[in-house]
């Protein structure tokens, strides 16, 4: 029987984790593949500002770097957070920034899924629909 770990979180480069260690743990547990999630940001969603856009990108880069060591077994997911504070209080601008980021994550980094935490924005807000459409178009 094949085993898929459907929710593996990376903890960040400061912990010393690496592809080899993750693979050794998976092998010891007979796990064939894992969905791997970028580390959560070190800041609460409501504290995000435009200064944190680089943090989101860096976390996605880190996930892609780990997953690139075993792309047939580690399926990376990017983290997106269209909180309005990320774009000076504009939800629409924040959504536009996340559309650019999801395209970068798919085309440049090879990430194949998305994790979003709806804190300080509503997942049913009509302004977020373009982001959902882009994610669907990419097959993520």
Q: What is the pLDDT of residues 38-72, one digit of tens each?
A: 887 766 655 666 678 888 999 999 999 999 999 99
Rounded average pLDDT over 19-46: 87
Phi and psi (nearest 5°) for 123?
-65, -15
Percent of the chain whose predicted confidence (pLDDT) is above 70:
93
Q: Domain spans of the chain?
A: 4-138
Rounded Cα–Cα distance for residues 33 and 22 (Å): 11
Residue-level pLDDT at 93: 95
- Residue 120 has a pLDDT of 82
What is the distance between the alpha carbons of residues 4 and 108, in angstroms, rounded to a whole number? Answer: 25
d(CA 118, CA 129): 14
Q: What is the pLDDT of residue 119?
A: 80
Top-tier CATH class for 4-138: alpha beta
- Given a contact cutoff of 8 angstroms between Cβ atoms, the answer to whether 80 and 116 are in contact is yes
pTM value is 0.91
Distances in Å between the alpha carbon of 83 and those of 6, 24, 57, 93, 118? 26, 36, 15, 10, 8
């Amino acid at each position: 029987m094949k085993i898929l770990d459907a929710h593996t979180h990376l903890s960040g480069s400061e912990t010393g984790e690496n592809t080899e260690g993750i693979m050794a743990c998976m092998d010891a547990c007979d796990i064939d593949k894992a969905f791997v999630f970028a580390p959560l940001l070190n800041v609460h969603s409501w504290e995000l500002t435009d200064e944190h856009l680089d943090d989101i990108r860096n976390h996605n880069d880190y996930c892609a770097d780990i997953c690139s060591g075993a792309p047939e077994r580690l399926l990376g997911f990017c983290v997106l957070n269209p909180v309005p504070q990320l774009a000076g209080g504009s939800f629409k601008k924040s959504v536009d920034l996340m559309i650019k980021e999801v395209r970068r994550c798919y085309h440049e980094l090879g990430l194949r899924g998305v994790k979003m935490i709806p804190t300080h924005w509503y997942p049913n807000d009509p302004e977020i629909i373009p982001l959902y459409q882009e994610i669907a178009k990419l097959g993520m």
